[in-house]
Amino acid sequence: MGKVAIVTDSTAFLEPGVAQELGINVVPLNIHLGDEVLRDGIDITPEAFFLRMEQSGVVPRLSPPSVETFERVYAGLHTRTDEILSIHISAHLNQTLNHAERGAESLLGRCSIMVIDSMTTSLGLGILAKAAAKAAQDGADLDEIVRIVRGMIPHIYLVLYVDQMDYLERGNRVGRAQAILGTMLNIKPLLFVEDGEIIPLEKVRTHEKAIEKLFEFVAEFSELKQAAIVQRIPHPTEETNMLLERLEPIFPDIEFPIIQYGPVLASHIGPSAMGVVVYEAPEW
């Protein structure tokens, strides 16, 4: 039948029009704000999401697409292909991967569906989905695309620092005493996504020191292929410009676009975080 179909979820950062251009099927997560349930990226934008958080004071809850949703998506794609690659947000951050795997069972024996944990989210997941879709357009089969994606996953990194520790406390990443003391001392934890899980890296006390740590992290890469600054708003802040001023002389040929992180990361780290995503060129 047709080429391999690529499926991802709404936590993947994809530039406007890219999903349609490359034929990437994006399944939205569900955002719960009080009694209201909204589809991520369809019923609400990141800007509106953060505004609602501020105005309502309600802590958002996110739920994965239902198993039935994945069953419908896969069944629709099966009408034109026998091979599907479904690549999703880290299983440590959301249950989307589990629901995708269960949804794939409905076509067991009739369609080859490979469900992969990206071990990341946001731009990292978007990079993987785009690479998979481009390989599919070039005629690669499912096994070859899976090999490409799995080879890329260990080369994608995400480091963040946060201003508010209460979200880390809710996620059991720091204890209550740590959160209270950290707030009192103006401590800003640096977090690293490792093996798909958000883990504390170290602590600093000023924005300037946090920016310095982000710079030092990125500067370690000699074969930087793609990178971006991840933050709440899509335009530069004072901190963003500080980081860009440090990075641009070292990486004159690399662009550092500013992208918004979405509701899933916000539910884990809060609405006032900043970080960098790095994709290091793998050695094939």
* Amino acid letter for position 253: D
* Amino acid letter for position 159: V
Domain 5-154 belongs in CATH node 3.40.50.10170 = yes
In angstroms, the CA 73 to CA 168 distance is 34
Instruction: From residue 254, give the alpha-carbon distance in Å to each of 109, 213, 279, 281.
Output: 45, 19, 11, 12
Q: Do 5-154 and 155-280 fold alike per CATH? A: no
pLDDT of residue 25: 98
In angstroms, the CA 150 to CA 155 distance is 10
Burial string for 254-275 (b: 16+ CB within 10 Å, else e) reads: bebebbbbbbbbbbbbbbebbb
Domain ranges in the chain? 5-154, 155-280
In angstroms, the CA 37 to CA 58 distance is 13
Contact by Cβ (8 Å): 243, 211? yes
pLDDT of residue 167: 54
> What fold does the segment set 155-280 form as a domain?
Hypothetical Protein Tm841; Chain: A;domain 3 (3.30.1180)
213: CB partners within 8 A, 6+ apart = 161, 190, 202, 204
In angstroms, the CA 191 to CA 261 distance is 15
- Beta-bridge partner residues of 8: 26
pLDDT of residue 145: 98
pLDDT of residue 205: 72
* Amino acid letter for position 51: L
Contact by Cβ (8 Å): 260, 232? yes
Query: Could you read off the pLDDT tens digit of each residue along the chain, which spans 284 residues?
Result: 679 999 999 999 999 999 999 999 999 999 988 788 999 989 988 888 888 877 776 777 889 999 999 999 999 999 999 999 999 999 998 899 999 999 999 999 999 999 999 999 999 999 999 999 999 999 999 999 999 999 999 999 999 888 765 554 454 444 333 433 344 335 577 888 888 988 887 778 788 889 999 999 999 998 899 999 999 888 899 999 999 999 999 999 999 999 998 888 887 777 888 999 999 976 65
280: CB partners within 8 A, 6+ apart = 155, 156, 157, 221, 223, 224, 225
Length of the chain, in residues: 284
